[in-house]
Structures are given as C-alpha cells and as structure tokens.
A and B are shown apart, each in its own frame.
Chain A
Amino acid sequence: MFSEWELKRYKRQMMLFGDDGQERLKKAHIFIAGAGGLGSPISIYLAVAGVGTITIVDMDVVDQTNLNRQILHFDRDVGKKKTASAEEKLQALNPDITVNAIDVKIDESNAVKLVGKADGIVDAMDNYPTRYLLNDVAIAKEIPLFHGGIRGFYGQATTIIPGITPCLKCIFPKAPPKEVFPVVGVTPGIIGTIQANEVIKYLTGCGELLTNRLFIWDGMQAHAEELCVERNPACEACRGITTKTPARTKK
C-alpha cells in the first residue's frame, strides 16, 4: 500500500504503469555496483522512481577529480566515503525507500553474499575483472545484469538475461587494459540513465528490453546505434545454461 504522499510522489509515472507497476518497483531490490559516474544517475533515478530497496556498493572516498561527473557527490563531500555521501543524497531524494550503502571492495569472497536476494544487478563499475565477477553472480542467481560502460564521449549498454541473452563474456571475452580514462559527465549521465530505464522496464514489465543488442553512443557525433550480439556456445561463463522462462516473468 502507498501513503498519500507516495501516491502524489509517483502520480505522473503511475499514469504509465499503474498501481501494479509502482507496487513492483516498491517490492524490488536492486543492487548497484559502484557509486561513481554511472552509479550516480542510476541510483538517483531508481531512488526517485521508488525502487523499494537499493543496495549500493563502493570502496572509494570522494576525490576532487570525481566531481565533473559523479553527481551524487558534492564539493563539500570531498574526503568523505562515497557510500556515506550516496546514502545521504538518496535518502534525501526519497525517504520512502530503503538504501543500503556498503563500503567494501566487491571480490570473489563477498560478491554472492553482497548481491543477496536482489532482483537485478546494475553494472556501474570501472573495470572488467569486477564486471566478470558480477556476470558470474547474475548467471548463478538467474537475475539480470544491466551493463554499461563509458569512455570520453563514448558509451555502451546492454541488458543481460542469463540463459537467454548473451552474457558479458559472450560479448566481451577479454578485458581491455586498465587506464585512467578521459570522461565528461554527460556520458555516464546518458548511459547510466539508459541502464536505469532498463531496470524500470524490467521491474514493471513494460516495453522492450535492450536484450541481444549492444547500444553504442557516440556523443561527439550525437549518434546512437546498436549492434546485434549473440550467445557464444563455447562461452566459459554461460555455456550450456538455459532458462525456460524469462526472469522478468518470474516476478
């Protein structure tokens, strides 16, 4: 049930997906890996949309060099834990949701437990080794992985439904080298917003998901396109895994 305040808060989106859709958002638990450039717009939009439980994980402290894009963190937060900053902002945006902000490095020893019973994982990481780990957890738990990545004015996104769509390793079998990547804040703004849009569609059951397609954004040309992507039958992460019912219909 919704309070009167909530009914007003969500009025304009309940025109799109009804009480039922809003109820699904409220009951949902979404795991956001990273409270940086992508994690900022993702968590902000999921919080204001009313996703009932948001777990957001990051191990970093806010640095001056983050401020051009990580809009969850303000000038005054430099030196603070990103999780503390994120929790404060998200709870201020929407006190009706639960925010679990966890200050830890996601690794093999804790990933499964951290994700817990979440309904989906949003990839807001800045490196492939952790992304591959989240991909494995999504496959093991049969929950979607909403992938996004950015560099400079370029970005990519896709929605991975284990057993149905290609997984992250099918699409990108090998990690690129680590680098201090250039970036302007609008790029994670665009890609993170696409990821949040996917989560909302997935949870409410409306629209067509960004599945079996890699969305590619070129901000220099203001041009978006998509490439078809397919499962790799020999994929080391998802080989042989099949799901009879798409995960979203299990809800």
Chain B
Amino acid sequence: MTVKIRFFARFRELLGTDIVTEVVPGTMFTSLITTTARKNPAGYAAIFDEKGAFHEFVILMKNGKRIELTDAAKTPVVDGDEIAVFPPVAGG
C-alpha cells in the first residue's frame, strides 16, 4: 500500500515533499516519518530530538485531521493516507 508524505517550510527544504512511499500494513505514523526523515540527518534533526521523539512544536496531520504527537506511535497509516508534517513558522 502507498501513502503520501507532505513536508512544509523548513522540513520541505531539507526533505522535499509529496513523497509517495510503499509501506507494509501496520506501519505506525511515527516509524514512517522516522524512516523518511533519516534520508537527511539535518531533516531528521529538525523533526526529532536526540532521543528520537518528535520535537514538541511539530504539527502532524493525517488526511487533514490533527494527530497528537503522543498518539502518533500507535496510529497506523492506511493505504492512500496523506500525511502532513510541519513546523510553526515564527518570523515576522
């Protein structure tokens, strides 16, 4: 099955976007993003802390619905899911 990952802002600069990827059934949200972000160490470090947890400011969405960071590790992705990962943009 395939899912699409969309990164925004700084995450997009580091990791690209609209990444369509094959996943095995039962893959959890967090592990999918972890695997995808590992392509680029700076991209990984922008999203995850040194313990491998999401930085607390990261926003996750699945098909337009927010996923809490604490739920992401136990939320499976399913075929056709569109996943968005973005940081709050802070400058003015």
A92 within 8 A of B: no
Given the interface pairs A154-B9, A174-B56, the reply to whether A149 lies near B84 with Cβ below 8 Å is: no
Interchain nearest-CB distance for A87 vs B (Å): 19
Contact A181–B57 (Cβ < 8 Å): no
Residues of A within 8 A of B86 (CB): 216
Which A164-191 residues have a C-beta within 8 angstroms of B? 171-172, 174-179, 181, 183, 188
Interface size for B (C-beta < 8 A) is 21
Contact B92–A125 (Cβ < 8 Å): yes
Residues of A within 8 A of B92 (CB): 34, 36-39, 123-127, 148-150, 188
Interchain nearest-CB distance for A170 vs B (Å): 9
Contact A151–B10 (Cβ < 8 Å): yes
Residues of A within 8 A of B91 (CB): 37, 126, 149-151, 181, 183, 188
Taking Cβ atoms with an 8 Å cutoff, the residues of B that contact A are: 8-10, 12-13, 55-57, 59, 61, 64-66, 84, 86-92
Between A and B, 8 residue pairs with Cβ closer than 8 Å are A34-B92, A126-B92, A127-B90, A149-B90, A150-B91, A152-B10, A175-B88, A227-B84
Given the interface pairs A172-B57, A218-B12, the reply to whether A128 lies near B89 with Cβ below 8 Å is: no
Residues of A within 8 A of B9 (CB): 151-152, 154, 156, 216
Residues of B within 8 A of A222 (CB): none
A155 within 8 A of B: yes
Residue from the list A38, A126, A155, A174 in contact with B57, Cβ < 8 A: A174
Contact A176–B8 (Cβ < 8 Å): no
Docked pose: A171 CA to B86 CA in angstroms: 11
Contact A176–B90 (Cβ < 8 Å): yes
A75 within 8 A of B: no
The chain B residue with its CB closest to the CB of A131 is B90
Contact A128–B90 (Cβ < 8 Å): yes
Residue from the list A36, A124, A128, A218 in contact with B88, Cβ < 8 A: A128
Docked pose: A242 CA to B90 CA in angstroms: 28
Docked pose: A188 CA to B88 CA in angstroms: 15
The chain B residue with its CB closest to the CB of A192 is B92
Contact B89–A155 (Cβ < 8 Å): yes
Interchain nearest-CB distance for B20 vs A (Å): 17
Contact A149–B13 (Cβ < 8 Å): no
Residues of A within 8 A of B8 (CB): 154, 216, 218
Contact B89–A227 (Cβ < 8 Å): no
A1 within 8 A of B: no
Residues of A within 8 A of B10 (CB): 151-152, 154
